[in-house]
Chain A
Amino acid sequence: MFTRRAIMLGAGQGVLLTGLAARMYYLQVMERDRYATLADDNRISHRLLPPPRGIVTDRFGAPLAVNRQNYHILIVREQSPDVRKTLTILSQVIEIAPETIDRVEEDVKRRRSFVPVTVRDNLTWDEVARVGVNAPDLPGIIIDAGRSRDYPEGPHLAHTLGYVAAVAERDLTGDPLLELPGFRIGKSGIEKTYDMSLRGKAGTSQVEVNALGRVIRELDREEGESGETVVLTLDIELQRYANQRLSEYESAAAVVMDVYNGDVLAMSSHPTYDPNSFTNGISHKLWDSLINNEYAPLSNKAVNGTYAPGSTFKTCVALAALEAGVITPEQRFFCPGHLDLGNARFHCWKRGGHGWVNLHDSLKHSCDVYYYEVSQKLGIDKIAAMAKRMGLGDPTGIDLPSERGGLMPTREWKETQLGKRWQGGETLICSIGQGYVLATPLQLATMTARLASGKAVTPHLTRDHVAPDDITARSDAEFPDLGIPRQHLNYVRDGMNGVTNELRGTAYRSRIRIKGLEMAGKTGTSQVRRISMHERQTGVLKNEELPWKYRDHALFIAFAPVENPRYACAVVVEHGGSGSGVAAPIARDLLTRAQELKSSRPGVSAVNIQSASQILRTSSKKQES
């Protein structure tokens, strides 16, 4: 009995052991490939290598946004027997804030012992060298080079370029690059618009990791592709000059653009800030000071700031009136200094009045009453229609985020938005660019470029991503014709020429005296507050006597040269006073500089300028035929 049962038991155990062998065979032979793959999945971790961000240059290839080697210091706990002691020694070698030591000690405790913790960023070369020399006394200290965004022009291009900053929760799109620690994306300006092109393609590194995620060794590495180079249409020389010129005022914006192809050559908003301070995280103090600054340095006023265009708008009204046939250029209106409509009296800026005024003089002297008269015949909707054709009321579509569209009111707009009927008097106020009308400096520049070219020019900061040295290869933009008769444009341009180049023109003092570079322009002064009846009777206070924020905005639009216009410009000086006194000289200087630079720069070909005038000529021929 015992023997039988023992043999049965032994046989049973034998079967079970055979079962183990079979299972082993199944796992190790039949399922081997599957498990080998799983083992590699376990073992091999694919890490992303962040690609270098694409650089941004001006039209001539000058670097505007580049990547700088950024040295930082890290500490690895497991290699440092006493973290505090090591940090104390380190603080004698380079500058380390005392609170940093506490912070690092906390961080180090929270991470796994082999994970490096950043001690300090942005080491100078000198500091790197000093740490290197003292390396034997600094166990566990690592110097690591990363890349950080650098803006060599600093504040000169802050608004246009924008800045990069850490990825926020809401920016996550599932792109694994965005989840890399320390990865930066464009948060505003060109950096934001062209973020996808600038970002590049991530490389991968295959590393062997253990179960804790610790890297044992690198198995394979595939470098990514750095981001594309974005070439801006800006000319950094002109940009710097514009900034410098605007910095004489508290708050101002200016745009210089190519009449013919829409290239923005300079776009300045003052005050400004240093985008470099955002790259590695901005301090609370600095952020607060930027946010609470009454001159709004963070805002790009060239595209975000909306201002009543003031008298610069009269150019639009004139075109509308000519097209509607309600006036002829020679037709004259009498300006006694005011116009009565119903019970209301609308004043001209000149108390005594301008007397008999035709179209040319209305622009040259900026007579308000002339436009009151014209607008009554036109009606707001025709004015608005022309303004829209000239680029007002809608965003221009420039390649910058958060552009504002300004406002061009119509009857319908008022009824749907404000629920009130349009008043006749409001047409009068609009006709001199006050009231509801709002435009950005960029829109004003666009309007000027359209006036100068007769084409639906739209502004842009980049065209195709052309190589920086390939300036001449730029194709001329094919903007559609605005359909405004050449003759009408000439009447208005002629009036604008009067503004700057004829005696008693409102900006005659700001004319460009260099032969062949002369500009034509239009002044504008936009009221920020209502002038009360009382004030009118007692005499309007002079701007200089008012607190800054109640002073008028000074505006000026201009193009140059008068013959064959090439450059358009718009200047707004917030609360600067009068357009003629403050804004016009800036425009004069910008346009002079732009034209001087053109001749000194090899890139801009004469062909372009010739063909520009050629197109103007053909468009006028079309109108005639």
Chain B
Amino acid sequence: MASRYRIGQDPDYVPLGRRLLLMNWTLVLLLTILSCIGFAMLYSAANGSLQPWAERQMMRFVAGLVFMILIALTDVRIWLKMSYAAYVVSLILLVAVEIKGDIGMGAQRWINLGFFQLQPSELMKISLVLALARYFHGLTIEETGRIPLLIPPLLMVMAPAALVLRQPDLGTALLLIAGGGVIFWLAGVRMWKFGVILGGALAAIPIGWQFLRDYQKNRVLTFLNPENDPLGAGYHITQSKIALGSGGLFGKGFMLGSQSHLNFLPEKQTDFIFTMLGEEFGLVGGIALLLLYTLVIVYGYVIALRCANQFGRLVAIGITTTFFLYVFINIAMVMGLIPVVGVPLPLVSYGGTVMMTILVSFGLLMSISIHRDVRISRQGNDDGRH
């Protein structure tokens, strides 16, 4: 696709060999290590068996890795051009899932494509970052200060957030809003405007409360007072804390986590996989994983800071922040710091769509890194200079 630009005509063209050279192989390694930790935990969760989780997760990772590298090697300007289209497609799919989606676990989240359970909300996490980045890429610093110009991106965030909330998927909705907000922030939107929005949101809580499903209300209430319901909604979090806490400094050893293996820990292969890791490898294991995640996030920041174009910087921060939010929300949740929202631990939790989302977004991040010196005009083409 990059071949549309002929050599010599495009000063920012990066030859394929150079792209491979510029590729963030360390980041690829970090992601692979994280995924391998995931395989090990899934192997343990299945009591020492590749079935039913570890093996499938490995196959997804390999496929995702190839996909990620292909995306990374693609010119970032193509991704810029496709941003709005991706957003529109994602939005249409979200509406479609609203109309006719598969219902699972009390929520309407998937479109069954036969071979694949497509979760449009995951797609939207990337598309929203891309679309907002492109929008703000097209604005000067002065223009970002103008309120009317902030209305379209606000709608761009609110539309998918509202749709996802209807599914209902509080966690993803929060991720979308937070990820979007971060781009607003980095695009230079003034602080006080966030204050207004936040104030408005707080004022809306009592109204929004009424729209929450009972189980969502219970989750929040249970979080506020977990002793209320130790066997019901609070059970998960209590058991998770017990498993983690009993892991101690060095843990009980690989595949020896009694709480996870005796099934006291719910959904140990997905949302609560960190608990299992904490039980089996203790504080040392937990901190090590946290450090790996931190390294990945630092990498994201480095890429963002070294990127010459606004689009790339915004996408890089958006992706990094989304990744951070996954990590933070999941771990904070299993440790009982925040209410239980269904957010997986990236690369480690079992799940195909999330794995894809993460690897695709890191593909984009690496594409930005490779093309960090490419200059892109506000109109999104290569003939302007800014």
Contacts and interface: CB of A to CB of B under 8 A. Distances in A.
Contact of B258 (A1, A2, A208): A208
B335 A42 contact: no
B292 to A, nearest CB: 11
B182 to A, nearest CB: 6
A15 to B, nearest CB: 11
Interface in A213-250: 216
A20 B141 CA distance: 35
A114 to B, nearest CB: 13
Interface stretch (B19-27, B155-163, B283-291, B371-379): B283-291
Contacts of A414: none
B249 interface: yes
B328 A28 contact: no
Contacts of A3: 305
B239 interface: yes
Contact of B242 (A16, A24, A42): A42
A210 interface: yes
Interface stretch (A4-12, A310-318, A519-527): A4-12
Interface stretch (A30-38, A340-348, A462-470, A558-566): A30-38
A28 B263 contact: no
A1 B141 CA distance: 10
B153 interface: no
A29 interface: yes
B264 A6 contact: no
Interface residues of B, number: 45
A362 to B, nearest CB: 80
A1 to B, nearest CB: 5
Interface in B254-284: 258-259, 261-264, 278, 282-283
Given A28-B282, A31-B245, A211 B305 contact: no
A43 interface: yes
A20 B335 contact: yes
A14 B295 CA distance: 11
Contacts of A10: 297-298, 301
Given A5-B186, A28-B278, A43-B262, A36 B246 contact: yes
Given A13-B324, A23-B335, A1 B188 contact: yes
B134 interface: no
A29 B249 contact: yes
A216 B328 contact: no
Nearest to A28: B283
A456 to B, nearest CB: 61
Contact of A28 (B245, B297, B304, B321): B245
Given A42-B259, A210-B262, A20 B249 contact: no
A32 B331 contact: no
B5 interface: no
A450 B185 CA distance: 106
B182 A29 contact: no
Interface residues of A, number: 35
Given A35-B241, A36-B245, A42 B264 contact: yes
B335 A27 contact: yes
B77 interface: no
B290 A210 contact: no
B242 A39 contact: yes
A34 B262 contact: no
B362 interface: no
B332 interface: yes
A6 B249 contact: no
Contacts of A208: 258, 262
A21 to B, nearest CB: 6
Contacts of A135: none
B242 A38 contact: yes
Contact of B245 (A19, A27, A211): A27
B337 interface: yes
Nearest to A5: B186
Given A9-B186, A19-B337, A28-B249, 8 more contacts: A1-B141, A6-B313, A9-B317, A9-B321, A10-B298, A28-B282, A34-B245, A210-B262
26 contacts: A2-B188, A5-B186, A5-B188, A6-B186, A9-B321, A10-B298, A17-B328, A20-B335, A24-B244, A25-B283, A27-B245, A27-B335, A28-B245, A28-B249, A28-B283, A32-B247, A34-B245, A35-B245, A35-B246, A39-B259, A42-B259, A43-B259, A43-B262, A210-B262, A210-B264, A211-B264
Q: Which 8 A-B residue pairs are closest in the complex by CB-CB distance?
A: A35-B245, A39-B246, A210-B262, A211-B263, A28-B283, A211-B264, A36-B246, A27-B245
